[in-house]
Structure 1
């Protein structure tokens, strides 16, 4: 245990964190690595490229930098697909090196093992300024909240806040509205969350909402398109 955070191993062998104060994990117990690939890579980035094959660069906004897993997988995706990515993420409570240095995501897949050093580089990168991380991945991570951040026009939103039962303020319509207003036409809002209230709110905010198969251990997830 480090502070109020405990490193745990999920069912696919990848690490996550358990927040003692919130009594909540950063990822699914059924597999952090598989969850991120399913929700944010497959139904986020891959889907966007199918619909927008000629549009570059890709602009992403992430709610919750957390362990850096989504950012790292996106960097790998950008390099493998040779698609420039501008990645904007917020995190009011960044992890300390004694935690993120232990995370094992770089050991999960031999095919992308050579990208392992980038995970710590993402965490060590300066906050609140743009940083060139690789040929195809530029990042700006901000130590701030959704209320305070200034959003840029965005193509894909990774909405990865804690669950509504643990962090209800992040799922209020006012917060969602700020994010949805930043999405470009043809853009995607993707999240692991599958509550009926979320889907109703996204529809009222002008998105076309899909109920999609969830990652391992979860029946459904949610994706919205801005037409």
Structure 2
């Protein structure tokens, strides 16, 4: 599949898949989307609402590493302890990673080594990046995930249902529900009615929330502890 690096409207880059007319991040702003959907609506909400001592995060679609890197920066700023699991079926090539401008756009030049280590670290091995941030990358298909009641937060950042509808099904969201602890949260940029209904069918309480630039709405799903 033909791929190229493009610049989104906030100045940050992403990877465009020409055959699908699909991107790894929003063309309206890669960094703005990650900040709104995953950091603000996911990480900050989880910390402020449930205040877990340690935050265990599962990312569905590690991709360019943008969400992981921004999570690291947020964790460093606020001294969260993060155990981060990034799942990716098709890792991005190092030649493409080197063309992304996230470090400069986030003004995070002091953390260049961290970003590079995130991508250079071995798959399937837990890497301690700092005393407050651990990263494990797993190369697997999303339907192979069978974790049970581990995570406080899931970043669901798969390619859209238009091009990969099989990633937005009841079966996949059942796996996500099972992987979360009670009061665990899943956030995604998606807002389709079929996605919301699939989440609700497996037991999630689902909120429609204002979306990032270019999208009217997004979804946040919570595994409510009813005991």
Range of TM-score over shorter length? over 0.9
User: Structure 1 runs of 4+ off > 3 angstroms?
Assistant: none
Instruction: Tell me the residue number matched to 2:3.
Output: 5
- Which residue is equivalent to 2:105? 108
Structure 2 SS opposite 1:147: helix
Residue equivalent to 2:55: 58
The superposition leaves residues 49-81 of structure 1 with CA deviations (integer Å, 9 ceiling, x where unpaired) of 11122x221000010000000010111111111
TM-aligned CA deviation for residue 158 of structure 1: 0.3
Matches for 1:166-185 after TM superposition, within 5 Å:
166-185=163-182
1:91-102 aligned at under 5 Å gives the runs 91-102=88-99
TM-score (norm 1): 0.94
Which residue pairs with 1:74 in the alignment?
71
- What is the CA–CA distance in structure 1 between the aligned matches of 2:26 and 2:10, rounded to whole Å? 10
* 2:43 counterpart of 1:20: no
1:29 corresponding residue in structure 2? 27
Q: State how far apart, in whole Å, the 1-side matches of 2:112 and 2:71 are.
A: 13
CA–CA separation in structure 2 for the residues paired with 1:151 and 1:8: 35
How many residue pairs were aligned? 223
Any gaps of 5 or more consecutive residues in structure 1?
none
**Runs of 5+ unmatched residues, structure 2:** none
* TM value normalised by structure 2: 0.94
Whether the aligned pair in 1 keeps the contact of 2:170 and 2:201 (CA below 8 Å) is: no
Tell me the distance in 2 between the aligned counterparts of 1:213 and 1:116: 32
Q: Are 2:122 and 1:140 equivalent residues in the alignment?
A: no
Whether the 8 Å contact between 1:105 and 1:116 is mirrored in structure 2 is: no
Contact preservation (8 Å) 1:163, 1:193: yes
What RMSD, in angstroms, separates the aligned Cα atoms of the two structures? 1.2
C-alpha distance in 2 between matches for 1:165 and 1:202: 17
